[in-house]
Structure 1
């Protein structure tokens, strides 16, 4: 299967560089390059790409609002491109529906791997962004725990799975912790996402924090990228 990609960045040289890397892959093709939010949304609607690589800082309509509209109006997975040490909008991007993000100085191999991960429906966190991402951003926003009305629909095992997702554990790690098979973990994860109306594992991490299952800065904070 060929993964179709829209590359969205207002800097032409950056956009072209990412597009060249993507286009060089035998299983990927760039279907559009865009320089602002409205162009990106229009391209996503018209071309139905698998993945949109989206700069978090865009002129006019910013990357967060663009991501929200792309996620609402299309089935594309959005991967944000950001400079983590300069941007404090990562949490908002994840809430908008982004499947994850990559640092803009990402290596070519990590970029194409990230696109494949997102296209496959998994969450994507840059290797450099681990516990610090969730702890710092959630704490800085000082968001109170807001119970989800549907949390009571989860079984005890599904609630455990959501908590471990919030800690950043991978499927194999969750399987080891719960002493079940990876297939069973995938079933639990799918049930959690479905029952809570979440797009992916990143949204599950956010839900785990906002429902108070995990406390920012706690000893058991998120420790792994997916």
Structure 2
């Protein structure tokens, strides 16, 4: 992946360890956010630091979360700074020496403060984007969400303005003197695939809907 020329948006997003793997452009960051289903959100609550994994989605220049209105985490995220991290493992890199084994990966770190999405139409549209992002076209087939359900759900978003990506997407880098060592070297790709669907016995519909994982 070619490195972009855009500088880090802030000192805390600048990649210091292996900076040649850094990417600060919006397209690279958005693609990684979209490819992942889970992020980890770090925040402070009652003087302690917490890091909670949760599902997310993206719309435009924002990363979105949702949860129960009573969630202590979601309340804390609107009251202080947060750090969101995403990591995807793309391949196992096997070298001729233990020290040069590595992993191909894509990761994103986002800093900032979450804001609540309170306008009902915006909340509804965001939840629809969340469902249809996982299961294309499914929202229109579902029992419509009720006003009570919408009111009981919090939707938060954080801008992707202060974010950085770090990527490794190449092969083995062995020492020249090790190249003749008689052991296999190369990359074993990793990917997420949908398994065999399990239909509920009382499901009226029997056909399985599509997902973004095929």
Q: TM-score, normalised to structure 2's length? A: 0.25
Flag the structure with higher strand content: 2
Decide which structure has greater helix share.
1
* TM-score after normalising by structure 1: 0.24
